[in-house]
A and B are shown apart, each in its own frame.
Chain A
């Protein structure tokens, strides 16, 4: 069965419910990325490169890793519900 929604349905019920974990991940992402621009962080140098750049690199790698884990877990949940 298609999970596609019609536009009138979208307008009354919303398109899709955001997962709580996604919302938390979004908040964490924006908080850490804003902290990376704080003076004490951006003026700290590691290997002649600002800590800001290193934090953004780690953060950028974390986003797909989170997404892959979340997609994998939600796929597992769907398989379970089909099995039932």
Chain B
């Protein structure tokens, strides 16, 4: 066990819990306080919170591992897509969503298309996609604990789970937003400083990319099937459009202009973060691991940290990675719990439930969802980034056409939205489980199917 590194991580964890307890009484007042942070969050806080929410354990660690072992062009597609997707979200979704008065995407779709089947299916899609996404985050926590802190994989996983579950349960969206803000700042600090240190260590970008290309000649090339790269990019662009855990941030802003500025600020931060992680840290990690790829590919960044940093910076890096994991996990957890609690239990079965009881129910759902995630996390996947991108691919194929049609097409009908939802999500599931297609290319078939189903049902 590494004492200094562990101490820094413990200090960080205590600070996050303290924030959760600080917001306890305000969060439990009403359902609005619990889910939307009283719609009173400033632009700077929201922008850093967005960075922390979008850039998960995958963004901080998994992407660097993927870039170092499969080439930086591959992961550039995903990360740059997510930055651009937020911009598309600002143009196409944020303004009209805010003006509609809906707090979440499922709430908007439910209000726009008052149909019981849609009201039930949308939260189910969200809950499935986010459970898978959360499992990927949990693997990152176990890996950091194992490699940087010398703690057992499963123990690190359980401790991380307990911390973010407690602060989300008691502090709701207020705690999530403020912890995300601090976590976003920590992630940005560590990424920028580590990038500068890596550039100095290897003698600049040119020397670094030349060395990495010697070890791995396809480092900067697009050498996998083209649809995998294009799919990876466009999945993340579309995730920016219809991802509730990102767009729930919009409902915490003070006004529509503040919501739009938060998105732009978050995008600029994400792009800077992305350029550092993909172009500098992936390349530097490949320089450290050399020709042979390690068994745990997601740990490539941790090898770099081991080689070029002292224990204090290793501890801070571990805290930053935990920050990335917890901030995204918290955002996902609150969105998944909102889907079940707000949209299914209260929305369909108990519409007259008191506000205070709704907040308590939300808190209980946070625990239930996170416990299910923990059970699935003990048997992790090979690449976390691939796993959670597939989960979001499913979400995009199911929700994008109904959402955009609902926002922009005044003649959009309930039956059209339902047909698009079933055709998009169903065809994705069939293609993913039943056919051997290039990774992430399912979307290029499922989205047109959803669109055709939507148009056919509207006729």
Contacts and interface: CB of A to CB of B under 8 A. Distances in A.
B407 interface: yes
A47 B88 contact: no
A45 B259 CA distance: 38
A64 B92 contact: no
A21 to B, nearest CB: 10
Interface string A17-51: 01000100110010001100100001101011110
Contacts of B84: 29, 33, 56, 59-60, 63
Contacts of B80: 53, 56-57, 59-60
Nearest to B220: A49
B405 to A, nearest CB: 11
A34 B237 CA distance: 13
A7 B112 CA distance: 6
Given A7-B100, A11-B410, A16-B96, A53 B72 contact: yes
Contacts of B233: 33, 37, 56
Contacts of A4: 99-101
Interface in B341-357: none
A76 interface: no
Contact of B274 (A13, A60, A68): A60
B95 A63 contact: no
Interface string B189-218: 000000000000000011001100100000
B419 interface: no
A10 B112 contact: yes
B88 A75 contact: no
Interface residues of A, number: 40
Interface stretch (B53-61, B260-268, B330-338): B260-268
Q: Of residues B96, B111, B256, which shows the largest number of chain A Cβ atoms within 10 Å of its Cβ?
A: B96
Contacts of B205: 47
B90 interface: yes
A80 interface: no
Contacts, number: 136
Interface string B411-455: 000000000000000000000000000000000000000000000
A5 interface: yes
A29 B386 CA distance: 25
A55 B407 CA distance: 30
A49 B221 CA distance: 6
A30 to B, nearest CB: 9
Q: Of residues A13, A49, A52, A75, which shows the largest number of chain B Cβ atoms within 10 Å of its Cβ?
A: A49
Interface residues of B, number: 53
Given A26-B91, A68-B264, A71-B264, A49 B73 contact: yes
A71 B92 contact: no
A12 interface: yes
B164 interface: no
Given A26-B91, A57-B275, A37 B226 contact: yes
A18 B94 CA distance: 12
B92 A26 contact: yes
A60 B271 contact: yes
Given A14-B410, A22-B91, A56-B233, A63 B267 contact: yes
B371 interface: no
Interface string B76-104: 11001101100110111001100111000
Nearest to B237: A33
Nearest to A36: B233
Given A15-B99, A15-B408, A16-B99, A71 B112 contact: no
Interface string B386-423: 00000000000000000000011110000000000000
A48 B219 contact: yes
B364 to A, nearest CB: 29
Contacts of B275: 57
Contacts of B220: 45, 47-50, 53
Contacts of A16: 95-96, 99, 407
A56 B236 CA distance: 13
A42 B222 contact: yes
Interface of B: 72-73, 76-77, 80-81, 83-84, 87-88, 90-92, 95-96, 99-101, 111-112, 205-206, 209-210, 213, 219-222, 226, 229-230, 233-234, 237, 256-257, 260-261, 263-265, 267-268, 271, 274-275, 278-279, 407-410
24 contacts: A4-B99, A5-B101, A7-B100, A18-B92, A22-B91, A33-B237, A34-B230, A37-B222, A37-B233, A47-B205, A48-B213, A49-B219, A49-B279, A56-B80, A56-B84, A60-B271, A61-B271, A63-B83, A64-B264, A64-B265, A64-B271, A67-B90, A67-B267, A71-B261
Given A16-B99, A18-B92, A47-B209, 10 more contacts: A15-B410, A29-B88, A34-B230, A42-B229, A45-B221, A53-B72, A53-B80, A60-B274, A64-B264, A68-B264
Interface of A: 3-5, 7, 10-16, 18, 22, 25-26, 29, 33-34, 37, 42-43, 45, 47-50, 52-53, 56-57, 59-61, 63-64, 66-68, 71, 75
